[in-house]
Amino acid sequence: MSPPVSQVVVVGGTHGNEMSGVCLAKHWLQDPSELRRKSFTADILLANPIAVERCVRYIDRDLNRSFSHELLSASASESDSYEVKRAREIYQKYGPKQSSLNFVIDLHNTTSNMGTTILLFKGDNFALHLANYLKTKCVDPSFPCHILLIDIPEQGHVHLQSMGKHSISLELGPQPQGVVRTDVLARMKVLVNSSLDFLDLFNQGTEFPSFEAEVHQVLHKADFPRGADGEIQAFIHSELQFSHSRQRSANIIWWAIPEKELFFRNSQNAGTAWDMELNYTVDIL
């Protein structure tokens, strides 16, 4: 059984143009009263303030890929990127990894129509219980909730959420970069508050029963079809654009000019994630 949760950090602005987390972080930095519970008060962190100021994903490199042991433990150098320096500042405040920091809630948006997607590390059963609790709060069928496991060996954890002993990332979309959708912002606010409620209930001795849940895991990554010159030659198929479903009856992914359908060959009934996401290849689930 996990010990009581004493230190919780809610993180916005890990990517500076994902505006739901940015707006909530700025609001809670001004008025943190909403983050108080009977058994703890959550900290709020604006992770990449310069990227937020410029409304860009990052300055030199992705902050959410800068929390490897190698980068955090390396000697400081004048040539270090801004995000590496910032990752070390966060590590200095909350580290070492998975020690005193009990829970991290990292807030993200995606241009993909992933509804509410809760990302957690495989094997983090406490976070899985929280994710299952959050699914009960997602009652709007037009904004469904999915759980996605990150299956990476612990020594390979490079994400900001790996700072916590337990953690989730909330990935909500679709929302264009640098834009606020108020329905997405409101949904994220509810999910953060529900997460804090769960942690507070756990601290007060509430027992959460065992459960069965549908979860997803990345099997492959599919880059866009490209020509010999590296130029993209096909695009996300209309059957996938802005679809909530994670499972597909067919493996059509790409549409090319002239009109042509391209398939991802896979023996399983594959689903997709991060289709129509500006920054990623398509993940096959």
3-class SS of residue 54: helix
Is 108 a known ligand-binding residue?
yes
3-class SS of residue 137: coil
Is 18 a known ligand-binding residue?
yes
The answer to whether residue 214 is catalytic is no
Pair 128, 213: CB distance under 8 Å: yes
Inter-CA distances, 93 with 113, 163, 265, Å: 34, 11, 46
Inter-CA distances, 196 with 107, 112, 189, Å: 14, 26, 11
List phi, psi (to 5°) of 265: -80, 115
Exactly one of 34, 154, 171, 212 is catalytic; name it: 171
* Chain centroid offset of residue 205 CA: 28
Inter-CA distances, 152 with 8, 122, 240, Å: 23, 8, 27
> If phi over 0 gives left and psi between -120 and 50 gives alpha, with beta otherwise, what is residue 235?
beta
Rounded-to-integer distance, Cα 87 and Cα 159, Å: 10
Annotated binding site: 15, 18, 108
Annotated binding site for Zn(2+): 15, 18, 108
Catalytic residues: 171
